[in-house]
Amino acid sequence: MDIKKIENGVKLILQGLSTDVELGQEVMENTPKRVARMYAEIFGGLKEQPEELLEVFKEEHEEMVLIKDIPLYSMCEHHLLPFYGLAHVAYIPSEQKVTGLSKLARVVDSYCKRPQIQERLTRQIADTIMKVLTPQGVLVVIEAEHMCMTMRGIKKPGSKTVTSAVRGIFRTNPATRAEAFSLIKNSSNY
């Protein structure tokens, strides 16, 4: 990433807003540098290959694996405003191919760390898991609040967008899909 270019761009935005960054306002003076470093961090997924995050190992398990309530934060590519929420990822292994639980959350995180739209994000997570693990099926559900709907435009705080991607047995078997959605919906108190 070209940090200096990002810094100059932020400076131009501030100048365009008639914010005088040159007058030695201590607080604003370093804002372009801080924002450039922040962008490098929150868009770090652009340098990653999410497929490489899924470590595959053998285990005799061919029942559903579900990680739910994975916190996510991303930036809407249309307005460069955040959206945040939860991801739920389920898969049913085949050929004894499973992955570490944290690896699924890492795939979510990696795709979130790039300019995104929620629909693509949901699809990318599901497709990556299908490609690497070749499971019987994958189901990904994302529920998120978009600051572009909260802060600007329609100004509807609290509204959530829900997207899903279903692959394999989750698409072809209504009972399997219903079981996954039921597990996602129901909270468990340990």
Sign, CA dihedral 113-118-123-125, equals: positive
Query: Among the options 55, 78, 96, 119, which is catalytic?
Result: 78
User: Is 61 in the active site?
Assistant: no
Q: How many helices (H) and strands (E) does the chain have?
A: 8, 7
User: Is 88 in the active site?
Assistant: no
Tokens at residue 187, please?
């909270």
Query: Among the options 41, 77, 95, 119, which is catalytic?
Result: 77
Query: Among the options 116, 118, 124, 136, which is catalytic?
Result: 118
Query: Among the options 48, 143, 145, 148, which is catalytic?
Result: 148
Query: Among the options 7, 76, 112, 136, which is catalytic?
Result: 76
User: Is 79 in the active site?
Assistant: yes
User: Is 118 in the active site?
Assistant: yes
Query: Among the options 48, 79, 143, 145, which is catalytic?
Result: 79
> Chain-centre distance of CA 86, in angstroms?
9
Place of tokens 């085949």: 94
Q: What is the crossing angle of helices 118-133 and 101-112, to 10°?
A: 140
User: Is 146 in the active site?
Assistant: yes
Q: Which residues are catalytic?
A: 76-79, 118, 146, 148
